[in-house]
Amino acid sequence: MAGWTSDSDDSDKFEWDNDGEAEPSSAPAMRNFDSPGPSTLGSNEWINGEVPPTSLIERYVVMGFPKEMVMKSIKEIGHSDADALLELLLTYKALDDDDAVGNNHSTSGCILPVVEDDDDPDFENCDGDDDAGGRESSSDDSGYEDFMREMSERDEKINSLVHMGFSEDEANRAITRCGVDADICVLVDSVSASRVAEDCHSRNLSDHQVTDRCFNSFGGRKKARLMEESRKKRKRYGGGGQGNRPSLDGSDEESMPLPNPMVGFNLPGYSGSSVTRMLSKLDTGPPFFYYENVARAPKGEWAKISRNLFDIQPEFVDSLHLCAAARKRGYIHNLPIENRSPLLPLPPKTIFEAFPHYKKWWPSWDTRTHLNCLQTCVASAKLTDRIQRALVSSSNPPPKSVQKDVMDECKKWNLIWVGKNKVAPLEPHEMELLLGFPRDHTRGVGKTQRYKSLGNSFQVDTVAYHLSVLRRMFPNGVRVLSLFTGIGGGEVALHKLGIHMRVVVSVEIGEASKKIFRSWWDQTQTGTLIEIDDVKSLTNDRVASFISQFGGFDLVIGGSPCNNLAGSNRHHRDGLEGKHSALFYDYVRILNFVKSTMAGRRM
């Protein structure tokens, strides 16, 4: 059985024992830029083999940092980001120069609970295939308990830091940087180093002024030391080859590691401390904006997205914590994050809660409790027939090797048990349920188009949780500019929240998606809908005319194409410079024009 191949609807072939992760033989081997080692360090141990100029090292030595410390820091994170390098040096200084350098303590203040690609090699794609290998903790009953335990630990650390006089925002950033398991002394030093670095650079101080201020800040405080020197080594932000992978355009881009678990700033029903964040007055709404894309984009792309969207921190969420299927996405928005509320009734959070009638056929050796991320295509009848024939010809229970092969395919394609030894793909209405859409939302177009449109959609419950803060702010309804509308996940979320949409200017190029959205709108809404085919045709003049006609927009929402960001696109994963994903810059262009035009009208 291990030698058989399965046939997908798009005629792709793959070996049953490859866990769904092997690339086609014609694809070039991808270099693992995320793992430290020879692939990223030159023979002299400098990242990418690039020896830093002597003048740069001397510059920091003159500032008062030991040469060994400077060289070690540059070897860890490179020298392209002066702010990050200074912060790392300051943290080492705070923790005791010689000890931190000589003993290789993992105490740089830059440790992150990163989802490592080499440990969890599934890939996210625009089609929802971020869990293709089925190796996610979603199939582990202990996943939610681990998450709650980690959140409790986080709360304790936050409370301790707040009692010391730090803000909740500083505490949260330090824990995100250093990890929940970091010692309090490490978190304190991380916050202190961040304060000094930010203050120095905000004042545009000279090198000597920076040195004086840094040493004055740390000189009078007792140097912190690790309480557990035997603690296992943690992954460092920027350590080895992780933080200095060259970006696709040839320049160095900082990495933005994903949190684990991927729970965003808070979750429905969670009673612990929530994340607090401060936005500048220029970044706050209205107009509010909400942007979404795949979480596992190429390294450096989320940092680039954030910079183009006012340097606002992304909120990474896996819908696994909100429904019965995983969907890893990143969101950047300027919405308030306090007083959120989930849609009621709460959606089913396990497979059997969503589909109890399948439990009678479910074999004991299939231990899944959640489904993986929903794709735009499903397994073929040939594959499901092969699985059935293999199980019929096997013992009961089947041998471990057969179980493994079957489970690999079940996880990859989200197959469910619909009869004895019989698996099948989810039906479109079942995908609608998992994604939070009303039943038959996509009905009226071909089945293939239904799968494609659903695979590319928002997860409605997640988006509604974030948008729920708008209910009190806009009791009379909202004016929405919807870019890359798709099948209307954002609009469905607003509707389910009870928020009236007075007007929606919808920009969507896909004919099937437009048909689905327009049909839903006509059946449920009373506001004004204006449809535009292409984001490129939405010029600044047209935006200005809409602002004049409707008095502005309250919300700009959308998720630009992720074709060149998704892990499944092995041949054209060109990031934001790719043909399709470059449309992100039209989102930025339009949003900036809306903000500036509305700001001018208020003056």
Regarding whether 591 and 514 lie in a shared domain, the answer is yes
Q: How many domains are contained in the chain?
A: 2
**pLDDT confidence of 17, banded at 50, 70, 90?**
very low
Rounded to an integer, the average pLDDT of 408-421 is 96
pLDDT tens per residue across span 247-275: 333 343 456 778 888 889 988 876 656 67
Active site residue 562: yes
Q: Where a domain ends, among 420, 435, 450?
A: 435
Q: How far is Cα of residue 502 from the mean position of the Cα atoms in its chain? A: 31
Residue 33: what pLDDT? 31
pLDDT tens per residue across span 424-460: 999 999 999 999 999 999 999 999 999 999 999 999 9
Rounded to an integer, the average pLDDT of 40-55 is 58
Taking the C-alpha atoms of residue 299 and residue 249, their distance in angstroms, rounded to an integer, is: 12
Regarding whether 417 and 511 lie in a shared domain, the answer is no
364 within some domain:
yes
Regarding whether 472 and 546 lie in a shared domain, the answer is yes
Residue 389 CB contacts under 8 Å (≥ 6 apart), including other chains = none
271 within some domain:
yes
Regarding whether 362 and 418 lie in a shared domain, the answer is yes
547 within some domain:
yes
**pLDDT confidence of 70, banded at 50, 70, 90?**
confident
**Of the candidates 312, 242, 369, 294, which has an alpha carbon nearest to the alpha carbon of residue 125?**
294
Tokens of 521: 């709108």
pLDDT tens per residue across span 213-248: 444 444 433 333 333 333 333 333 232 222 233 333
Residue 301: what pLDDT? 87
Residue span of the structural domain in which 307 resides: 265-341+458-602
pTM for the full predicted model? 0.63
Taking the C-alpha atoms of residue 290 and residue 556, their distance in angstroms, rounded to an integer, is: 6
Highest mean pLDDT among 22-36, 176-190, 239-253, 577-591: 577-591
Rounded to an integer, the average pLDDT of 323-345 is 93
Percent of the chain with pLDDT over 70: 65
Q: Is the pLDDT of residue 402 over 50?
A: yes
| Range in 114-123, 444-453, 567-576, 585-594 with the lowest mean pLDDT | 114-123
Regarding whether 580 and 463 lie in a shared domain, the answer is yes
Q: What angle do CA 538, 539, 542 make, to 5 degrees?
A: 80
374 within some domain:
yes
Helices (DSSP H) in 358-446: which residue ranges?
Answer: 381-392, 400-413, 428-435
Q: Is the pLDDT of residue 524 over 90?
A: yes
Taking the C-alpha atoms of residue 235 and residue 457, their distance in angstroms, rounded to an integer, is: 33
Residue 190: what pLDDT? 74
Regarding whether 416 and 336 lie in a shared domain, the answer is no
Q: Which of 110, 214, 377, 562 is catalytic?
A: 562
Give the domain CATH number at 527: 3.40.50.1100
238 within some domain:
no
Regarding whether 369 and 337 lie in a shared domain, the answer is no
Regarding whether 551 and 598 lie in a shared domain, the answer is yes
Buried-state track 426-446, b at ≥16 Cβ within 10 A, e below 16: bebebbbbbbbbbeebbeebe
Regarding whether 402 and 285 lie in a shared domain, the answer is no
289 within some domain:
yes
Q: Is the pLDDT of residue 27 over 50?
A: no
Residue 253 CB contacts under 8 Å (≥ 6 apart), including other chains = 245, 247, 299, 300, 301, 303, 304
**pLDDT confidence of 149, banded at 50, 70, 90?**
low
